């Protein structure tokens, strides 16, 4: 059986959004302190016994999150056409972090986006 390692790191950012077409209060401007769980996978350890340094995962994820932090998500280029739901935010973050982090040895495994302490979505494209 092949070995697989999944590394997880947590980050957060704050932003506002409004959900177009939503039949309730979330159609109004409101904000969240989002929590993000980034999970990266790999099968091989490097010469010092790591798949990837956690600092490197965080560096790549922070580059993407910086674009969204303290912003109105609906104004972001990606969310002009795509509704900034937790699900669509998860897909966007997954794809953008994966572009930066993916190598022959490492790739995104999944991402979990928490909009509050009770509600989250996990996305992967396996």
- The residues assigned a catalytic role are 26, 70, 115
Q: Does the annotation place 78 within a ligand binding site?
A: no
Angle at 24 between CA 18 and CA 25, to 5 degrees: 55
Q: Does the annotation place 60 within a ligand binding site?
A: no
In sequence order, which residues have a C-beta less than 8 Å from that of residue 36 and are 6 or more positions away?
Answer: 10, 11, 12, 13, 61, 65, 93, 111, 112, 113, 114
Q: Does the annotation place 32 within a ligand binding site?
A: yes
Binding-site members for Zn(2+) are 17, 30, 32
């Amino acid at each position: 059986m092949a070995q697989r390692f999944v590394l997880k790191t947590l980050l957060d950012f704050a932003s506002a959004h409004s959900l177009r077409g939503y039949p309730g209060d979330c159609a109004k401007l409101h904000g969240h302190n989002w929590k993000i769980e980034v999970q990266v996978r790999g099968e091989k350890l490097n010469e010092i016994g790591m798949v990837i340094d956690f600092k490197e995962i965080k560096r790549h994820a922070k580059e993407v999150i910086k674009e969204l932090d303290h912003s109105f998500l609906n104004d972001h280029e990606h969310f002009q056409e795509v509704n900034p739901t937790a699900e669509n935010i998860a897909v966007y973050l997954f794809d953008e972090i994966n572009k930066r982090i993916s190598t022959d040895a490492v790739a995104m495994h999944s991402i979990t986006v928490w909009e509050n302490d009770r509600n989250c979505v996990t996305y992967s494209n396996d």
